[in-house]
Copies of this chain bind each other. A is one copy, B any other.
Amino acid sequence: MISAESKPLDILALAIRSEIDAARFYQKLLIRVKTDLLKQKIRFLLLEERKHRIILLRLSRQRFGQEPSNLPDQGIEPGFKIDSTRGMEVVELFQLALKAERGAEAFYREAKERVEDSLARQILDYLRRVERSHAALILSEIELLKRFPEHYDVAAFHLGEDMVHIGP
């Protein structure tokens, strides 16, 4: 995804475009999800991707005296770029997200190898690790979505809200 000719500012532009796509993706996913615990996780991912864009823009200004003058049409992972979530199951959207987060992790690993600047390397390495933790978080939800496909509700776990409390 990064060619031998990619300049550092191009790599940053690609990363920024990807973070924008990722945030938009999570925004769409948020609308589709009904349960509280899941909404909370997606909102967290959305906020993280937004912060990453800000971090990358700052790094651009610091190191190149400018933000990228234009961003590529395509981000790292086409998986984050979807027109609509219609016709897709929530679990499919999570699977897309998992693939895209893993792609982002691989991208940041490669990007780090392409830059020489020590601060930039540290930041790219941080972003790589964060995308990895997102993938782990998404994976745990996918397993649960698969096991409770019909009436997925993490908080209630089909235990029933109307359960009589007969405990002490």
Contact = CB atoms under 8 A, between A and B. Distances in A.
A65 B155 contact: no
B133 A59 contact: no
Interface of A: 37, 40-41, 44, 47-48, 51, 54-55, 58-62, 65-67, 69, 119, 122-123, 125-126, 129-130, 132-133, 136-137, 139-140, 143-144, 147, 154-160, 163, 165-168
18 contacts: A40-B44, A55-B154, A58-B156, A58-B163, A59-B157, A61-B166, A61-B167, A65-B166, A66-B167, A67-B167, A119-B157, A119-B158, A122-B144, A123-B157, A126-B143, A126-B154, A132-B140, A133-B137
List of 6 A-B pairs having minimum Cβ-Cβ separation, nearest first: A66-B167, A129-B140, A133-B136, A67-B167, A133-B137, A58-B159
